[in-house]
Structure 1
């Protein structure tokens, strides 16, 4: 009986610490601080975003500086659509666009380039060709061409910042009065532009009757070219490409 009573008392009791008699209150355990953790993360993220925003306003993007000419950049889009035929030198040394035959020009393909005769308006001749530079600069090539074809031509003015095929060169506007009868004597205006690369001179030349441009007659913007065919010349002047030039 004594053993059974001892087992019953043990089941109703537990091992613990002896404390003085009295009333006690258990302290509530603190749980995880979810809201505090999320709040801290939000504060950190907002602070980082504000710092990056301030940094972005203070950092200035690097601006590409072009010195044009000769570095005139490149088109911002894809390659332009070519609507004019293109002449390629037999040796591949250069190429150039030229007027479409049968439009307003009679075109003749020559061994070193293209000759186009304007058949409307005042008429005129446009030549796009090459010749070896042989150590000459662009001015010397232009002077030699003028002396060879128009020995009596008188320089009217030089073209400032002349460019051919996006290569700096030399340009000149000259006047000539062909000798002959009074009927055949006409004031001729001559434009020649030359640029040299790889010792190859590329030449754009135009000649035709002198035509005084004005507010109601001319290319639109004020121009001292005073040559009808010059209004259509620009697109061909910068279509020249030397061997190895990138597509444009």
Structure 2
């Protein structure tokens, strides 16, 4: 190949035989393929990390309370009260320690605790064969047996016993047929049924009108002195097979 002195129409190169030649088309960069591969790799990595995270971190449980109220978020609570166990293992319940503010008597189907300070009163934590009855029917039958003249004051909303939805009511009774406050008894009855076994928490004592300076603190229509100590035992009930709590 020759070149001219001024180089206006010349270029440096290699000499080739005369003939027709076709230049091969060079492929440009594959942008879409490259981006697609990166997307696939990122999705695969994210899926792998998600699976790894679910295996490492325990899945949080969503509770709908009531009826499923879950368990305490920390370790199991320390039991400071004695616990009654039915002879057949059908249920158990915590009860007040004898010699504190109560005189306690154990019975074949539960515990009776007599409050010996303040207004006094009786707390009973016991079982009753359900025989196909629901909690409301069991409560009505028990009230009819023990306090046939009692009049329901109000129902307890969302009553729970042993973390099991049940039925509860507050009633009033005048056992001597009078209507004076001196003879006015306040009755609280909470029942839940599971495994055809009704567990019952009941309290009775003199009617005591709560107020801002006399009562459990938060406003309460319970109006029963022993009710201030009743709550800790209501949900200590456990049926056979219940997990520890």
Q: TM above 0.5, one fold?
A: yes
Q: Which residue of 1 aligns with 2:184?
A: 187
Q: After the TM superposition, which residues 10-25 of structure 1 pair with which residues of structure 2 at under 5 Å, given as runs?
A: none
**CA–CA separation in structure 1 for the residues paired with 2:78 and 2:162:** 17
Q: Which residue of 1 aligns with 2:34?
A: none
Kindly indicate whether residue 131 of structure 2 is the aligned counterpart of residue 134 of structure 1: yes
The equivalent position to 2:172 in structure 1, one of 166, 170, 175, is: 175
Q: Which residue of 2 aligns with 1:113?
A: 110
Kindly indicate whether residue 115 of structure 2 is the aligned counterpart of residue 122 of structure 1: no
Runs (4+) off by over 3 Å: 61-64, 180-185
Equivalent residues of 1:177, 1:185 under 8 A apart: no
Deviation, 1:64, is: 3.7
Which is higher, the Rg of structure 1 or of structure 2?
A: 1
Equivalent residues of 2:109, 2:127 under 8 A apart: yes
Residue 182 and residue 196 in structure 1: after superposition, are their counterparts in 2 closer, same or farther (change >3 A)? closer
- How many aligned residue pairs are there? 195
Q: Which residue of 1 aligns with 2:149?
A: 152
Deviation, 1:184, is: 10
Which consecutive unaligned segments of at least 5 residues does structure 2 have? 1-41, 51-56
Q: RMSD value over aligned CA atoms? A: 2.4
Deviations 1:178-211 (A, max 9, x none): 1168999610000000000000000000000000
Kindly indicate whether residue 52 of structure 2 is the aligned counterpart of residue 86 of structure 1: no
Q: Which residue of 2 aligns with 1:224?
A: 221
Equivalent residues of 1:178, 1:185 under 8 A apart: no
The equivalent position to 2:163 in structure 1, one of 145, 166, 170, is: 166
Equivalent residues of 2:181, 2:207 under 8 A apart: no
